[in-house]
Amino acid sequence: MTDQHKAALAAGRNEGRAVRDYLEALRNNKPKRGRKRTPESIARRLEAIEAELADADPVQELRLVQERLDLNAELATAGQAVDLTALESEFVKVAKGYSARNGYSYAAWRTIPSRVQPPSSARMTTSGLTQTTFLRSPPQRPL
């Protein structure tokens, strides 16, 4: 394997990581419906769960234990904010080449259900991405 081939593989891994990290961050930080939970409301619910566990039947106990685990995990990550701007800037750098190599169209990026959108038109212009860039035909792969 040549050094050039190794470099191309490393670049592909880095681009894939940037795209994956950005898409996962968008999915995981998608706004949820309803009221936002505060650490205080989570603590109150945890206290209520402890009280309910005392006289819960086995199935209800299982549900309550799982809810307690979920709430503790939510409480642990409540104060952590994900820097979407840094992830987005990395995504913008690699999106054009990644899309061209993998045959992803502009329309494909627009239809991902986790509110993923190609970068705004201002960013598209500065990074060289345009709607026509995404609309190119997919690369021809050897058989």
CA 38, CA 34: separation in Å to the nearest integer? 12
pTM of the model: 0.55
Start-to-end Cα distance in the chain: 21
Among 77, 78, 84, 70, smallest CA distance to 36 is for: 78
DSSP 80: -
What's the structural domain count of the chain?
Answer: 2
| pLDDT tens figures, 77-127 | 776 777 788 888 888 888 888 888 888 888 888 887 655 555 554 344 444
For the record, the structure tokens of 114 come out as 């986790």
- Asked if residue 142 belongs to a domain, the reply is no
Averaged pLDDT, 62-87: 85
For the CA atoms of the chain, what is the radius of gyration?
22
Cβ count near 68 (within 10 Å): 16
- Asked if residue 45 belongs to a domain, the reply is yes
- Host domain of residue 100: 3-29+83-134
